[in-house]
Structure 1
Amino acid sequence: MTPNLSTATEPSSLTTAAVAAQSLNKSYGRDNTTVQALRDVTVGFPAGRFTAIMGPSGSGKSTLMHCLAGLDSADSGSISLGGTEITALSDAELTRLRRDRVGFVFQAFNLIPTLTAEQNITLPVALAGGSVDRDWLRQISSILGLDDRLSHRPHELSGGQQQRVAVARALLTRPDVIFGDEPTGNLDSRSGAEVLSLLRRSSSEMGQSIIMVTHDPIAASYADRVVLMQDGRLVGELERSTPDAILAALSQLGA
């Protein structure tokens, strides 16, 4: 028995979602080696909420995130991001959309070692030829506790501080959504808790929409909602759950 799937597949919720997928299918390989990674997935991720996607290895959670973020293409179905249908966009249009309207926080911090923390935060804006909103930069630096670290280079920062820089970089352009792929996977428990608390604050205090793929029930417990996947399908969801409740739900899925 799996947890009850409530609003995740209700079409009425898709029109108000920051990101939504409708009847999404994705497979890899050919003939006898074909793997169906996504099977008719319909789901909406509400704006301003922090959602975790979980499931056993091979459940399709990373594939779903990659498709939602425009990093991979689906075989069929549609995806809307911030009101824009992205499945029909060209590669150049997808690149611009990811640059201007999507933020990413990965397990690897992906910071440029020769640049300061501030330069790493503002790098995407600089590469796009845009101008930095200095007031917003100061605000997010203060919220993330980076005020006295902006002139430091990555090797002068702790792992938790480096990931905070990555979070600030993702927030700087005020994206429609931030995707996190195991964002605390390379951090110790204390630093991981700090980054997860900051992601939660980014959602609750700044209205940021966040979608995080994780295998860690403790990390998922920071989210407003946990979407569960198995064999390429959505099979359940939990609202603001404890690590024990999330672990119990995953155990039912064989994770």
Structure 2
Amino acid sequence: MTPSTNVPTTLPESLPVSALPATTAAVAARGVSKSYGRGETAVHALRDVSLEFGKERFTAIMGPSGSGKSTLMHCLAGLDSVDAGQLWIGGTAITDLPDAALTRLRRERVGFVFQAFNLVPTLTAEQNITLPVALAGGTVDTAWLRQISASLGLADRLSHRPHELSGGQQQRVAVARALLTRPDVIFGDEPTGNLDSATGAEVLSLLRCSCREMGQSIIMVTHDPVAASYADRVVLLKDGALVGELEQSTPDAILGALAKLGA
């Protein structure tokens, strides 16, 4: 069941860097620009992007092909550098962090769920969930592992290897892996792209519940209006710039907004 209210808005005026209280946002960007190439062949992937992503909120990023949505996600997650502007994850400014510190921050405070499940085929579901913690030499919070496994319907599948799980169950394992460290934010890159509609709906419902019941913050890139309708907020991009947003919208309203952008 998707939210039914639709409140289109325009983006607020940009705030100065000092007015972006990173402590009240899961992720924040100020004046972010990113280009590839130089001179006449340069591609301007992001153009002066400023926005905040609230804590315990599920936000979808959408736009036509080439709008910059994947580039924005990669920059927000610290996977790609920016040419100008500032980025925060929680209270930490990440734009100028040394590589080692940025790697540690991503490992400890950021979760990822991708279109490809990215599970190690020789490991059990439980071992896949705990793998990032093990690689970091950390200690698994067993009680939390059991809680999220039960919440995601994986309690009786933890000893199974990926080939013994359905696509939906494999993606649930990926979601559990992202949740295990209680990150500041989870980034989803087309997380239901390899799933059928029914299974995709289950995964999206689980992501939405993780915001409402576990206090998680989620930022998802998607091209699917139905998937985006599960989000609390849809941010719209075109030609690397923010052009508007929708709050608690329906698939039809999102599709209409995309049509106006030429998507």
Within 5 Å, give how 1:30-41 maps onto structure 2: 30-41=38-49
* Alignment gaps of 5+ in structure 1: none
Matched, 1:50 2:58: yes
Aligned to 2:144: 136
Match of 2:79 in 1: 71
User: Residues 3-42 of structure 1: CA distance to partner in whole angstroms, max 9, x if unpaired?
Assistant: 5324584566654211000000100011121000110000
CA distance in 1, matches of 2:11, 2:81: 27
| Distance 1:229-1:80 versus aligned 2 partners, 3 A rule | same
Could you list the per-position Cα deviations for residues 58-84 of structure 1 after superposition, in whole angstroms to 9, with x for gaps in the alignment? 101111100000000000100010110
Q: What's the counterpart of residue 157 of structure 2?
A: 149
Instruction: Note closer, same or farther for the CA distance 1:32–1:220 as it changes in structure 2 (3 Å cut).
Output: same
Letter in 2 for 1:74: V
| Matching residue within 159, 179, 183 for 2:187 | 179
- The TM-score normalised by the length of structure 1 is 0.97
1:17–1:47 CA contact under 8 A, matched in 2: yes
Separation in 1 of the partners of 2:198 and 2:124?
A: 24
Aligned-CA RMSD value: 1.2
Going from structure 1 to structure 2, the CA distance change for 1:64 and 1:58 (only over 3 Å counts) comes to same
Cα pair 1:7 1:13 within 8 Å, conserved = no
Task: Provide the rounded CA distance (Å) in 2 between the counterparts of 1:179 and 1:86.
Answer: 16
Q: How many residues align?
A: 253
AA in 2 matched with 1:60: G
Whole-angstrom CA distance in 2 between matches of 1:31 and 1:7: 31
Letter in 1 for 2:192: T
> Is the 2:30–2:85 contact (alpha carbons within 8 Å) kept by the matching residues of 1?
yes
The TM-score normalised by the length of structure 2 is 0.94
Contact 2:11 2:243 in 1 (8 A): no
Looking at structure 2, the residues matched to 193 and 7 of structure 1 have their Cα atoms a distance apart, in angstroms, of 31
Q: 1:62 aligns with which of 67, 70, 87?
A: 70
Structure 2: gaps of 5 or more residues = 1-7
Change (3 A) 1:219 1:84: same
> Do the aligned residues in 2 keep the contact of 1:20 with 1:81 (CA within 8 Å)?
yes
> Percent of counterpart pairs with the same letter?
78
